[in-house]
């Protein structure tokens, strides 16, 4: 006798079907649906303008070969970088396109605005630029000179170096042509170029080249050429401090060596002056060479120079008037008394 299986209810049928489905999955292995693939974010490529105004990464720029400001003359970069972050860059840097296989990441040369470029790098912002693709080397040099000529941060030594580099590079055929095109006097240009030739070791002994004007720097360069290199190296700090004025270079070292006008007594140096010394009045010679008056410590008190018309010029080193010692006043009084007598 056959027994018919009981008919399952609808709910029971669903439970059995679910169990069979799970058993089938365990035996065969059904792969989970793959996770959706996210597309990479779209990054806008940097646009490098070939002309006109634009903004570029500062890492795509470099100063051009005749850049005239050494690292030591960029003192305000921190403040400028802070300004860029707070207020933005107000004035663009002047650049021109460049292609250099050795540095393929470099797209521009900075002609004017090296401080802005450095500040943008420090601030981590893009650099606003004015791109001029037609600018040749001579035009670029004139643009750089025009921007930096009257900046207080730029020393006369740096100015002289840039002119020397431009001549060496052949931007101008002669010093005369350079002076004419840049509208500077030939004499001023010659002094700047002479300053630029100052012995490198002497330059390294100067704390801040901006303290040495071109007239003094040119005189130091000539003094080294005349054989006073050791004396210049020894005393350049005093020159920078204003203790040895321009009109004593190189006369003060000629006097020390017994050369030239000093050998005939044209320069008077009082080495052992003290409060107990009696002043020995001496008249400066009329040949235009100044007389030198020192204290017991060897420091310069003042210089006196007689002009061709009989006028007398007394020069007091910077800071001396604030320290009017008895020795200084006695020497000055005795000297003036000798002139009046």
Q: Indicate the number of domains in the chain.
A: 3
Domain extent at residue 213: 155-234
**Of 205, 234, 263, which one is at a domain's C-terminal end?**
234
Which one of 121, 153, 185 terminates a domain? 153
Whether residue 14 is contained in a domain is answered as no
Structure tokens at 74: 């960029």
Q: What is the CATH number of the domain that holds 204?
A: 1.10.10.2830
Does residue 287 share a domain with residue 199? Answer: no
| Six-digit token string for 270 | 């009082």
In a domain, 166, yes or no: yes
CA 295 to CA 77: how far, in whole Å? Answer: 43
In this structure, is residue 3 part of a structural domain? no
**Residue 264 buriedness (CB in 10 A; 0-12 / 13-18 / 19+):** exposed
Identify whether residues 201 and 286 lie together within a single domain. no
pTM listed for this prediction: 0.61
My answer on whether 93 and 183 are in the same domain is no
pLDDT, residue 310, reads: 67
Q: Is residue 293 within 8 Å of residue 301, measured between CB atoms? A: yes
From first to last of its 341 residues, what are the pLDDT tens digits of the chain? 454 545 544 444 544 445 454 454 444 444 455 554 444 443 345 689 999 999 999 999 999 988 767 666 777 888 999 999 999 999 999 999 999 999 999 999 999 999 999 999 999 999 999 999 999 999 999 988 888 776 767 899 999 999 999 999 999 999 999 999 999 999 999 999 999 999 999 999 999 999 999 999 999 999 999 999 999 999 999 999 988 988 889 988 988 877 644 333 333 333 333 333 333 333 444 455 677 777 777 677 777 777 666 677 777 766 554 455 777 777 777 777 776 65
Do 130 and 83 lie in a common domain?
Answer: yes
109 and 184 in a single domain? The answer is no
Q: How many CB atoms lie within 10 A of CB 23?
A: 10
Mark which of 234, 262, 293 sits at the end of a domain: 234
Asked if the peptide bond before residue 144 counts as cis, ω within 30 degrees of 0, the response is no
Looking only at the bridges linking them, the beta strands covering 127-131 and 52-56 are: antiparallel
Residue 183 lies in a domain: yes
């Amino acid at each position: 006798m056959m027994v018919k299986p009981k008919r399952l209810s609808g709910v029971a049928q669903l439970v059995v079907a679910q169990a069979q489905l799970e058993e089938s999955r365990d035996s065969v292995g059904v792969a989970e649906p793959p996770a959706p693939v996210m597309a990479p974010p779209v990054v806008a490529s940097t646009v490098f303008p070939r002309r006109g105004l634009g903004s570029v990464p500062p890492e795509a720029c470099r100063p051009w070969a005749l850049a005239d400001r050494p690292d030591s003359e960029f003192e305000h970069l921190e403040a400028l970088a802070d300004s860029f972050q707070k207020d933005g860059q107000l004035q663009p840097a002047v650049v021109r396109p460049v292609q250099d296989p050795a540095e393929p990441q470099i797209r521009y040369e900075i002609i004017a605005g090296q401080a802005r470029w450095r500040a943008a790098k420090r601030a981590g912002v893009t650099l606003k630029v004015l791109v001029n693709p037609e600018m040749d080397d001579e035009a670029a040099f004139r643009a750089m000179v025009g921007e930096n000529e009257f900046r207080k941060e730029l020393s006369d030594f740096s100015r002289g170096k840039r002119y020397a580099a431009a001549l060496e590079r052949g931007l101008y055929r002669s010093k005369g042509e350079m002076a004419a095109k840049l509208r500077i006097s030939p004499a001023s240009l010659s002094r700047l170029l002479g300053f630029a030739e100052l012995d490198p070791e002497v330059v390294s002994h100067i704390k801040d080249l901006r303290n040495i004007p071109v007239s003094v720097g040119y005189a130091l360069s000539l003094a080294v050429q005349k054989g006073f290199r050791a004396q210049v190296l020894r005393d350049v700090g005093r020159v920078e401090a204003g203790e040895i004025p321009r009109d004593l270079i190189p006369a003060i070292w000629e006097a020390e060596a017994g050369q030239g006008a000093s050998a005939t007594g044209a320069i008077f140096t009082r080495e052992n002056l003290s409060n107990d010394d009696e002043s020995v009045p001496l008249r400066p010679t009329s040949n235009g060479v100044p007389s030198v008056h020192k204290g017991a410590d060897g420091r310069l008190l003042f210089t006196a120079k007689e002009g061709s018309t009989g006028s007398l010029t007394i020069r007091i080193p910077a800071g001396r008037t604030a320290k009017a010692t008895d020795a200084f006043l006695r020497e000055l009084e005795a000297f003036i008394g000798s002139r009046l007598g």
